[in-house]
Amino acid sequence: MADRKPLYLMSPALAWLTAFMVVPCLLVLALAFFRRGIYGGIEYTFTFETIALVFDPLYASIFLKSAVIAGLAGLIASVIGYAAAYAIASMPARHQPMLLFFAVLPFWSNYLVRTYAWIVLLNREGLITAIARGLGYDGELPRLLYTESAVVVGLVYNYLPFVILACYAPLSRLNPEIAEASRDLGGSAWTTFRRITLPMTAPGIATGFVFVFVLSIGNFVTPALLGGGQFQMIGNLVYAQFLTANDWPFGAALSMVLIAIMMGLLTLQTFVTERASGARARET
């Protein structure tokens, strides 16, 4: 086909994306450089004040707390996900696709439903309390729901299948002869794993970790449902600026900083992955 044709096939979709994604995102970027008017609304004078406010200790601490929770969720999910992927990859080849399918299946169900499932387990009259009572424990049980731990568990639960997928890809491509060679040369199983398998499959872990971190740090649903009202992460702060506090410029500034953090991490992850594959290309 001629070179001009692709354009009119693409233009309806590109027009849609321009109008309803590019322009709105640029608008938010612009909003971040204005400030809230005295009576709400937006005061259209150019200022860095709003962005500077994001780095105010009060809000910076919320960023930090979100980063800690997202980091914790990413770390735990990476460890469990890598172990699971390693276990799947060690099973007979004919069982692997099915195991992988069932590891990812929960990921396909509704996010709210998966989060809600943990409320059912953790709430005061929930299953865990019921089991403790059934075992004859009568004392006061620690609060399970509406805690930071509950938020971390919820995030790990929701994103674990992706980490398993990300880690399984390099593990399944691993050449078993390399590990064999290491053992023949006298390397113990642990040394082989630490010096050969782990470095060669590290990009999978990096991908999994960054994915969980990026989705967690801006998360709004999980902190709202499992963290309860008193507990705030950046996502909830952004939500509040737009739907309750009515300070759109500040909400815009918060989300721009959020985007900057994410883009930084994604670039770093691409860099790590490319370096790792470059190193492998040189070896062969």
Residue 280: count other Cβ atoms within 10 Å of its Cβ: 13
Is position 243 an interface residue for another protein (rule: CB under 8 A)? Answer: yes
Is position 91 an interface residue for another protein (rule: CB under 8 A)? Answer: yes
Among positions 157-196, residues that touch another protein (CB under 8 A) are 157, 160-161, 164, 189
Q: For the CB of residue 117, give the shortest distance to another protein in the complex, in Å.
A: 4
Q: For the CB of residue 166, give the shortest distance to another protein in the complex, in Å.
A: 15
Task: From 17-25, 58-66, 68-76, 198-206, give the range in contact with another protein by CB under 8 A.
Answer: 17-25
Element (H, E) at 35: strand 35-36
Eight-state DSSP code of residue 142: P
Characterize 158-169 residue by residue with b for buried, 16 or more Cβ atoms within 10 angstroms of its Cβ, and e for exposed: bbbbbbbbbbbe
Tell me the number of residues near another protein by CB under 8 A.
80
Closer of 268 and 279 to another protein (Cβ): 268
Q: For the CB of residue 142, give the shortest distance to another protein in the complex, in Å.
A: 18
Among positions 102-131, residues that touch another protein (CB under 8 A) are 102-103, 105-106, 108-114, 116-121, 123, 125-127, 130
What the block records as the tokens of 68 is 């800690």
Q: What is 179-208 written as a DSSP string? A: HHHHHHTT--HHHHIIIIIHHHHHHHHHHH
What the block records as the tokens of 83 is 């172990």
Q: For the CB of residue 248, give the shortest distance to another protein in the complex, in Å.
A: 6
Among 70, 88, 100, 200, binds another protein (CB under 8 A): 88
Distances in whole angstroms, Cα of residue 260 to Cα of each of 81, 131, 264, 265, 275: 27, 45, 6, 9, 22
Among 218, 247, 250, 276, binds another protein (CB under 8 A): 218
